[in-house]
Amino acid sequence: MKIAPHSKLVFIGDSITDCERARPVGEGLFGAVGKSYVSLLEGFFTAAYPGHGLRLVNMGTSGNTVLDLKARWQTDVLDLKPDWLAIMIGVNDVWRQFDLPRQTEIHVSPAVYEKTLNELARKTRPKLKGLIMMAPFYIEPNRADAMRARMDEYGALVKKVAARHDALFIDTQAAFEPVLQHLHANAIAWDRVHPNIIGHAVIARAFMQAVGAQI
Amino acid sequence: MKIAPHSKLVFIGDSITDCERARPVGEGLFGAVGKSYVSLLEGFFTAAYPGHGLRLVNMGTSGNTVLDLKARWQTDVLDLKPDWLAIMIGVNDVWRQFDLPRQTEIHVSPAVYEKTLNELARKTRPKLKGLIMMAPFYIEPNRADAMRARMDEYGALVKKVAARHDALFIDTQAAFEPVLQHLHANAIAWDRVHPNIIGHAVIARAFMQAVGAQI
Amino acid sequence: MKIAPHSKLVFIGDSITDCERARPVGEGLFGAVGKSYVSLLEGFFTAAYPGHGLRLVNMGTSGNTVLDLKARWQTDVLDLKPDWLAIMIGVNDVWRQFDLPRQTEIHVSPAVYEKTLNELARKTRPKLKGLIMMAPFYIEPNRADAMRARMDEYGALVKKVAARHDALFIDTQAAFEPVLQHLHANAIAWDRVHPNIIGHAVIARAFMQAVGAQI
Amino acid sequence: MKIAPHSKLVFIGDSITDCERARPVGEGLFGAVGKSYVSLLEGFFTAAYPGHGLRLVNMGTSGNTVLDLKARWQTDVLDLKPDWLAIMIGVNDVWRQFDLPRQTEIHVSPAVYEKTLNELARKTRPKLKGLIMMAPFYIEPNRADAMRARMDEYGALVKKVAARHDALFIDTQAAFEPVLQHLHANAIAWDRVHPNIIGHAVIARAFMQAVGAQI
Amino acid sequence: MKIAPHSKLVFIGDSITDCERARPVGEGLFGAVGKSYVSLLEGFFTAAYPGHGLRLVNMGTSGNTVLDLKARWQTDVLDLKPDWLAIMIGVNDVWRQFDLPRQTEIHVSPAVYEKTLNELARKTRPKLKGLIMMAPFYIEPNRADAMRARMDEYGALVKKVAARHDALFIDTQAAFEPVLQHLHANAIAWDRVHPNIIGHAVIARAFMQAVGAQI
Amino acid sequence: MKIAPHSKLVFIGDSITDCERARPVGEGLFGAVGKSYVSLLEGFFTAAYPGHGLRLVNMGTSGNTVLDLKARWQTDVLDLKPDWLAIMIGVNDVWRQFDLPRQTEIHVSPAVYEKTLNELARKTRPKLKGLIMMAPFYIEPNRADAMRARMDEYGALVKKVAARHDALFIDTQAAFEPVLQHLHANAIAWDRVHPNIIGHAVIARAFMQAVGAQI
Amino acid sequence: MKIAPHSKLVFIGDSITDCERARPVGEGLFGAVGKSYVSLLEGFFTAAYPGHGLRLVNMGTSGNTVLDLKARWQTDVLDLKPDWLAIMIGVNDVWRQFDLPRQTEIHVSPAVYEKTLNELARKTRPKLKGLIMMAPFYIEPNRADAMRARMDEYGALVKKVAARHDALFIDTQAAFEPVLQHLHANAIAWDRVHPNIIGHAVIARAFMQAVGAQI
Amino acid sequence: MKIAPHSKLVFIGDSITDCERARPVGEGLFGAVGKSYVSLLEGFFTAAYPGHGLRLVNMGTSGNTVLDLKARWQTDVLDLKPDWLAIMIGVNDVWRQFDLPRQTEIHVSPAVYEKTLNELARKTRPKLKGLIMMAPFYIEPNRADAMRARMDEYGALVKKVAARHDALFIDTQAAFEPVLQHLHANAIAWDRVHPNIIGHAVIARAFMQAVGAQI
């Protein structure tokens, strides 16, 4: 298990991470950690490693792009002084290019995406024991689909930035592949973006494997 | 314009037709006709042909399959004594095969679908001035997608049944093609099933053209 | 079709335009464009001209008079940098004279109406590719009705201002005439102001014809 | 004052009478009598004639036509054993002919209207100390308006039936005339049917004058 | 009728006046005048004197004492530039002495009550065509009841201040007497303060008589 | 303490007893016993006599008269097999005579009241270890008030019936006297019927004293 | 993995299983499986064994005791024709003995508990491929606590019945022990009964281990 | 009775005191004093000592620790100028150490607890006629339970501070002991913290005894 006892993990991201987490900080009583894969990690990490005393904090915000993360980075990441940080961002950066193609002013281009992600990683990595960068994903098996292709492009940028900053890279898109061989995307997410419990388990499982947790 | 003045048109279908129509009958004051393409037809037919005095009645019910239509056919179609009847059904017959693949008892097979549709058309056609059979659709441009392929199969069955009963066939799936060449499916329906105003306009337009209405 | 591809159209007006559009800007996901004739235009323009990639933005606000438009002109029109602008205002300017006759301080006189409309048109026309000025209307066939007569007076002022600024004038009041020969006003709007789907289709149709769109 | 002390008055009618009255019987605590002219009569009759101890019971039901009254006549009129009965019905009988012209099966023709009203009066008059028949009205000063003309026709039938059964006839339509000389219909009712407090006061005043009450 | 045509009347007071009036100003569409005696006056004044074109504005606020009136006098009375002003205040000034006897800091003593009322009348009377001062009341026939006795004391102060400023004094407490000879207080107001429609009619009637209106 | 350990006490009555108790039986988790004096007894009996293991069941129903009790006596009293039964009824029997004086058919006369109460006591007393009959009360110190006088009359009937059936009589009206010497009725109940916490404590105290409980 | 592909698993139980599952059957779209450990199993079983195509059906009902299970056994278990059945019941059977000690008629004694459980297992086991019997638990580390001791007694009965019917026994109480060595019960469930995500993960993990699933 | 007539008592604390009290000050009409033991004291003190005219003000706030009290001490205690002050705080100071053990930054250590309590008592005692310090409690009979042991530790600190400042100390934990000999903690509070009516009566009784009130 790569995460040392008593570590604090912050998860920053968009609606896939958010899932009704508490404000202003997604940690505490009454399901404050939300209902996403972060909650699954909270449950199973504590069940399997009760002595580790890990702290998981959900800082996802629905609708965010990487530019929104940048705008709230100080209060929502740095001020929380995490030991480990997990970033999963990009679906909104890409989606708006396809569902609101005419509103180009709200699109986040690959260049801006990479640059911003890189900037955030550079400024934060030195303060962390570990950084985890998760690819954004689109639960669409057809790689020729325009949005899937664009998502793969963004995922590749995450991988590139992760490599530059000694971060653990988690290929969430790849994690969905074996499931999509048995199930149609509709069995995981009607909109191919917001997963049901199966999809969150896929993400959580990929995360557990990446950090070497035996559940 | 193929529909004669003072005709009564009943639209039977699923959630794509329903869209908050009134119960038990989708006709009358306060938006009783709902917010789907039926409402668009109501508006433009009356605006363009005010002297025609057409009556449009929305009898769509969310979640219905062709078997549900059969179960309510007497009260929801025959008792209303329509001059023209429009049927658009099938998306739920197909969808459940992909989003709930393990619950096979609620799937409607192509054989049952065709047989039931045929039975409904045969028993009703003689009482009608006109029957319109609209293909179910999936707003997915990739014909290799399993659900799109299955939907095309069901659409072909509609076409076959329509031919057998002297019905006007409307290929709604085809109507979406030119739009999908310019817009990603996400710009019309996040779940590729329930269209926004653009998708409803596509359907309404195909309908207008099929009946020769000049708007 | 007079509107060039990739144009941005802003619609400014009152409750007839508004119809639950999103705030602060009526454009985007989840029906942000509202449920008025603007939505009908959005649907049919995209369905018929998918390659045009037009942007429609609904900036109507319920209860507004021309003085309210003036007060929010910078943020709600100029800042949005439209290529085309459509203005339909005046019903509240007139209505209050009849439903709240004793509150004269909230009435907008013809003189103030014309002057303000003229001022807005003059300051904005140079920045536009096209300006569309739509008459306010009252769905009352009796021209001798005091409020209808006053509305006609305001409509004539719109026509006059439109001519002065090279704007397309749409006579919405006239557009209702053929329909009112077949239907009582009550079949379109109980209060003769807020139209149902038939009335919105009448307006949308007049708009389409004015800009030469073939639906 | 024509109504003797300790009399019980029942008011039967449609939404103009109803106005949130209690179910199943509109009499009792917590504003059970509703907010229409019946409530105004309840207030002023008691204030001016506190020793009379009159009972007022509101049995109006929104949307009712004369056929609906007939269907509930036993429970809602006869079982209550009124001393005096006031009937005001007809606006829905007429209105549907204009706002839903194509749904002719729900229209109530003048012949059916008169016959039903006559039947109800005949069966009930002998059990009453007094019967009051109020004309239905349309707050539209233009007698040439199709719906106003039709309403006048129904009002004339009420007058005729009233004469036949020794009933007090109240010409509510006439009662609105002097007010309409000073105020546009919009100042009383946007839809020209459901009055605000001014319109209810007009009706209540006509009622008070008809029964000789000095308020 | 003492109030000249085209006059504007403002009613200032507490919950007995307020009754759901609109904010910030109780005048306009959608029942903005509230549901108290002010609404009854609005209805019957307009019905009986349609040519007078009176404006009635309800500025009552639930829970107010005379000190609250003073605090909002500029915006809620003076800025509205009334021709006539009606003041009915005092029930909360008195009530709190009896239902919250231990919270003496929120009680308004007779001395403070008189002084404040006098001050408001003096500063306002010169700008008015007419001032109406209505006694506060307690619907309790037992003059020996401690709260009734105190209310009578406050009512006498209103009469005294009214005399000093040439105001019409309305003895609302007296207006309830004849009704209370026939009805128990419980038939008008369970809490002997907030009247039902009967009580509001009593107040409205006293007002009409005071200004010489023939309804 | 007159009530033996492990006894079951049922309280039957009206809104003063009810106070949001659970349905169908007012006993169990989540405050099922309601918020009236029954709850106070539940709390203090258990706090002071934890070893007694008493069961308190609240069967009050808002709006009930003695006739309503009779109608539900089998299910709501007898079927519960109480050891002790407490009855407090009568306020609605009396109140309606004063707040709805014209609806005489819903009034419960002294004769009917006494007869019914007597009948219930006779049929139930033999099955009980103890019967407690509590007078209805009116929090009005003026004995000359018509409703107070009537309430005293009903209280006397309760006392008479209690004597006849070997029941403990609790004079709740008397219990309020010392408090009313210091507080106006308004400090206990605005409507002089539904008490606040002070009034419920007065009732609970009278009950505790009657059964000899030392709290 | 002991459960064969394409098996159907039904989970029957109380609120710990229920957690907002859909009615009448807890399977299908929109989170129909609820939010308990059953949902966690649904997610991770599908993520780790996508080719297995397992069906999980949640039939838990809040507040149930073993007697409630018996009453709905036909419709809620047998009619669903499960391959595997998991039963976890007993907390309410025990809890009521401690939170409502005086309502003995709703307590389920150990004898009744064992007898009923045995009866259900005997009648159902022959139709199943596998039966899983899970002990009820109380998240209280103090074995001397009266309710914990009683819960252990019921757990032992489950173990005994499981042995008699060739069922897999899961000792959920034991599964909580290692976690309770590091965390106070309050960190898992304020009421020591309804677990948060940590507790559900503990249960799910015990289940996975019992059936040999490698997550 | 130690509390002199006309004294004002302020109760400051956490959710056990709060129980829906009004904001900003828990005193006045409509149950402003909340539903906790403060309400019980309000009721019984007034019922038993109506001539005392005591004022009880509930200033509890859910979730508060002693540090929260300190932060609002000026407005919520000193500004209210109490004669007597009752403090019961500490359950959240302790609870968070057990239900959120990893969030150590929100824990209040014994040292900080004692120091802050001491500081508040020292600054306030001179202005008071009497100070009452109530121990925080945990409705857990097992003294070996880690949270109960910690709570006892905090209770001892309260006793120590009380002695130092001439305050009445109320040992609420001890007050629960006799009840816990007969009832399981679950019969008083599922979470062993927030009591039902029994628990509030236990607290109120301990308070009454401490101040020598005879109820």
Interchain CB distance below 8 Å, A201 and G51: no
Gap between the terminal Cα atoms of chain C: 10
Compute CA H146 distance to the chain's CA centroid, rounded to the nearest angstrom: 22
Contacts of F214 (CB under 8 A, 6+ apart): F1, F48
With a pLDDT cut of 90, the percent of chain A lying above it is 100
pLDDT of the residue at E142: 97
Q: Which two tokens stand for residue A1?
A: 């298990």
> Are chains G and E touching, using the cut-off of 8 Å on CB pairs and a minimum of 3 such pairs?
no
Amino acid (one-letter) located at H125 = R
pTM over 0.90: yes
How many Å from the N-terminal Cα to the C-terminal Cα in chain H? 10
Q: Choose the closest CB to E186 out of F147, F186, F190.
A: F147
- At residue A120, the pLDDT reads 98
Residue E122 phi/psi, 5-degree rounding, is -65, -45
Nearest-Cα residue of chain E relative to residue D204: E44
Q: Who among F99, F183, F190 is closest to E101 (CB)? A: F183
ipTM: 0.97
Q: What is the mean pLDDT of chain H?
A: 98
Measure B161 CA to nearest chain A CA, in Å. Answer: 28
Distance CA H102, CA H107 (A): 10
Question: What is the reported pLDDT for E97?
Answer: 98
Query: What is the residue type of H50?
Result: P
Instruction: Report, as an integer, the average pLDDT of A83-98.
Output: 98
Q: Are E133 and E158 in contact (CB under 8 A)?
A: yes
Residue G31's pLDDT band (boundaries 50, 70, 90)? very high
D102/B28 CB distance under 8 A: no
Domain ranges, ordered by start, for chain G: 8-210
Q: Is the peptide bond before F24 cis (omega within 30 degrees of 0)?
A: yes
Structure token digits, residue C72? 């929010």
CA B198/CA C50 separation, integer angstroms: 10
Q: Which of G107, G201, G210, G197 is nearest to G162 (CA)?
A: G210
Neighboring chain E residues of D47 at a CB cutoff of 8 Å: 179, 198, 201-202, 205
Interface test with F, best of E184, E196, E197 (most F CBs within 10 A): E184
| Residue where the block lists tokens 């003294």 | H143
Please confirm, yes or no, whether F62 is among the known catalytic residues: no
The per-residue pLDDT for E70 is 98
CB B167 within 8 A of CB B131: yes
Beta strands in chain F (DSSP E): 8-13, 55-60, 84-88, 130-134, 168-170
Amino acid E37 reads: Y
**Per-residue b or e along G159-185, where b marks 16 or more CB atoms closer than 10 Å to that residue's CB:** bebbeebebbbbbbbebbeebbeebbb
Element housing E169 (H / E)? strand E168-170
- In a structure prediction context, what are the per-residue pLDDT tens digits for chain B, which is 215 residues long? 999 999 999 999 999 999 999 999 999 999 999 999 999 999 999 999 999 999 999 999 999 999 999 999 999 999 999 999 999 999 999 999 999 999 999 999 999 999 999 999 999 999 999 999 999 999 999 999 999 999 999 999 999 999 999 999 999 999 999 999 999 999 999 999 999 999 999 999 999 999 999 98
D22-to-F64, G71, H175 alpha-carbon distances in Å: 19, 41, 51
Residue E165's beta-bridge partner residues?
none
Q: Are G56 and G31 in contact (CB under 8 A)?
A: no
b/e for F144-178, b at 16 or more Cβ within 10 A? ebebbebbbebbebbbebbeebebbbbbbbebbee
> SS3 for F214?
coil
Tokens 């000389």 correspond to what residue?
D181
Instruction: Note whether F196 contacts D: Cβ–Cβ < 8 A.
Output: no
Judge whether B132 and B81 are in contact, CB under 8 Å. no
Strand partners, H88: H13, H134
List E residues 43-82 in contact with D (Cβ-Cβ < 8 A): 43-44, 46-48, 50-51, 53
- What mean pLDDT do residues D166-175 have? 98
Q: What is the pLDDT of residue G136?
A: 98
Cβ-based neighbour number of residue E8 at 10 Å: 19
**Side chain identity, residue B158:** V
Other beta carbons less than 10 A from residue D100's beta carbon: 18
Which region holds residue G174: left if phi is over 0, alpha if psi is between -120 and 50, else beta?
alpha
Give the DSSP per-residue string, B95-142. Answer: HHHHHSTT-GGG---HHHHHHHHHHHHHHHGGG-SEEEEE--------
- F7, F15, F52, F145: which one is catalytic? F15
Average pLDDT, chain A: 98
Tell me the pLDDT tens digit for each residue of G82-112: 999 999 999 999 999 999 999 999 999 999 9
What SS3 state is found at D87? strand
Record the tokens describing residue H125, joined without a space: 């005692």
Contact present, G183 and G209 (Cβ < 8 Å):
no
Any idea what DSSP says for residue C144? T
Residue E58: per-residue pLDDT: 98
Please provide residue B85's backbone torsions phi and psi, each rounded to the nearest 5 degrees: -130, 135
Contacts of F101 in chain D (CB under 8 A): 53
Q: Distance between CA atoms of C8 and B200, rounded to whole angstroms?
A: 22
Question: How many angstroms separate the CA atoms of D182 and B9, rounded?
Answer: 46
d(CA B180, CA B188): 9
H-type alpha helices, H1-72: 15-18, 37-48, 66-71
Q: In a mutagenesis test of the H interface, which of A29, A80, A81 is the best target, namely the one with the most H β-carbons within 10 Å? A: A29
What pLDDT was estimated at residue C82?
98
Cβ D187–C98 below 8 Å, yes or no?
yes
In whole numbers, what is the pLDDT of chain G averaged over residues?
Answer: 98
Q: Is C114 exposed, middle or buried (0-12, 13-18, 19+ CB in 10 A)?
A: middle
CA separation for the pair E56, E39 (Å, rounded): 9
Exposure string of D53-65, with b = 16+ CB inside 10 Å and e = fewer, is bbbbbbbbbeebb
Interface check for G215 against chain A (CB to CB < 8 A): the answer is yes
Is residue C174 less than 8 Å (CB to CB) from chain B?
no
The amino acid occupying position A85 is L
Measured between alpha carbons, how far is B176 from B179 in angstroms, rounded to an integer? 5
pLDDT at site E48 = 98
Q: Give chain D positions within 8 Å (CB) of B79.
A: none
Say how far apart CA H144 and CA E132 lie, in whole Å: 75
Chain E residues 7-36 with CB within 8 Å of chain F: none
Q: What is the pLDDT of residues D59-88, one digit of tens each?
A: 999 999 999 999 999 999 999 999 999 999
Residues of H numbered 117-156 whose beta carbons fall under 8 angstroms of chain G's beta carbons: which are they? 142, 144-147
Interval C175-179 mean pLDDT: 98
Q: Alpha-carbon distance E14 to E91, whole Å?
A: 8
d(CA G65, CA H187): 19
Domain H8-210, CATH number (from 2.60.40.10, 3.40.50.1110, 3.90.1150.10, 3.50.40.10): 3.40.50.1110
CB contact under 8 A, C145 and D142: yes
